[in-house]
Structure 1
Amino acid sequence: MTTIGIIGAGEVGSQIARAAISTGYRVVIANSRGPETLNGLIAELGGSARAAYAAEAAAAGDFAVVAVPLKVVNDMPVEELAGKIVLDTNNYMVWRDGNIPVIDSGEKTVHELRQEQLPTSKVAKAFTHIQAPRLLTSARPAGHPERLALSVSSDFPEAVELVTRLYDQFGFDTVDNSPLRESWRTGPGQPAWNRHAHQKRDELILNLKRARRVTQA
């Protein structure tokens, strides 16, 4: 059974954990406050989940999910994530993160920065433009007329392949929006973001094309 290490136990991380367990994965999940603070969540998730510190979750996972904001000074466990595919669910929010000049200027995306901070990992932007509860409520089987789509961006084809498989297992189609430098197209304020993943595959493809990059001098 595949284990997913999840760093971040807020709404996004916990909903990914729920979806993962419902589709047959094991989960090791961490937050910033310590495993003992996750007793309630682990009790809900059941025997396929356990709590750990971030480095332990990273080490335990066959691949990892980072569901916390990016810090300018890296706070992710580089060594434990080495050689692994890392799904980055973060969005750049100035009100929360402060201004990061290389993102504001359009020189780099937040996900490219995550890749730089994890140089021995294979980062994929995933789950960034869906409201977390919809991972469970909007899931539909393949071929269903109301099945929605999510995007993925990565510099590594094997990471795109993994995310595509995971999306399908969770009940969503995939649109490949690679490489990471294109990941801004699903960022806050863009057409794909404004729809909050209420998009079928053809609609998402169109909204990605409609994206317009806004930079700050």
Structure 2
Amino acid sequence: MTDAVPPRLPRIAVLGAGHTGPVITRVALAAGYAVSVAASGDPQRIALITQVLAPGAEPRWAAEAVADADVVVLAIPLHRFAALDPDLLAGKLVVDTMNYWPPVDGVQELFEDRGYGSSEIVQRRLARSTVVKTLNHIGYHELEAERRPAGAPDRRALGVAGDDPEAVRTVAEFIERIGYDAVRLASLAAGRLLEPGGPVFGASLRRAEFERALASTP
């Protein structure tokens, strides 16, 4: 009787090679994921950045990275989102790590409809993709340092919000593997609780504390 073959981990494409993208890439690689990185142009432009900041990742053209990926992580500055071609991400599970934060990024007309969370607006524009919101409420400078093994008493919780249960499950497993407890929110609309000004934004909370903070918000 042979040992069961472990399931293949989803292949990740990270769009964005600024502050956030390389950190997400490093923690994903450390967790055993295959990761490609793409920016807005020729991969040769980010080859050195990738080699230095995320060794083991593959710099690629965005279209090629996305085509081969099971999960695409949006780690671009939010002001660049309006220029992103929705066709590029059609049919893909997209992890939205962006925030709309006017005091920092300025007013972005696309995101000014306050009746919706920013990820709901992302989903409306990426109508042929499945959007899940996470990693927006932890600083990129904390993401590596705050990782802990499963069961550690000081393991930090992160929220995962989406409308598609299977997509949320896939992303929650990713969050667990990179070193955090995943707290699943009921919908992408509920992801507004993860945004700037929300009860868990920037807060280092254990799972029970995180869930209490969400539950206590009207």
In the superposition, the TM-score normalised over structure 2's length comes to: 0.86
Which residue number corresponds to residue 215 of structure 1?
none
Match of 2:35 in 1: 27
**Does the residue aligned with 1:106 lie in a helix, a strand or coil?**
coil
Q: Does 1:8 align with 2:16?
A: yes
Unaligned runs of 5+ in 2: 1-7
Measured after TM superposition, the shift of residue 97 of structure 1 is: 4.3
**Number of corresponding residues:** 208
Hey, what does 2:4 align to over in structure 1? none
Q: String of CA shifts for 1:100-135, please: whole Å, max 9, x gaps.
A: 37x555311110111111111110001011111322
Matched, 1:100 2:100: no
Query: Under a length normalisation based on structure 1, what TM-score does the superposition of the two structures give?
Result: 0.86
Structure 1 residues 32 and 72: CA distance shift in structure 2, 3 A: closer
1:124 to 1:73, Cα distance in 2 relative to 1, 3 A: closer
Query: SS of 2:21's equivalent?
Result: helix
Aligned partners of 2:128, 2:43: CA distance in 1, in Å? 26
Q: In the alignment, does 2:46 pair up with 1:38?
A: yes
Determine the structure 1 residue equivalent to 2:213: 207
In structure 1, runs of 5+ residues without a counterpart are 213-217
- Seen in structure 2, the aligned counterparts of structure 1 residues 14 and 156 have a Cα distance that, compared at 3 Å, is same
Q: Note if contact 1:20-1:27 (Cα within 8 Å) is conserved in structure 2.
A: yes
Aligned partners of 2:18 and 2:195: how far apart in 1? 20
- The match for 1:113 is 121
State the percentage of identical aligned residues.
Answer: 33
**Is the Cα contact below 8 Å between 2:175 and 2:182 reproduced in 1?**
yes
Q: What RMSD over aligned residues (CA atoms) do the two structures have, in Å?
A: 2.1
Decide whether aligned partners of structure 1 residues 10 and 211 sit closer, same or farther in structure 2, where only a CA change above 3 A counts. Answer: farther
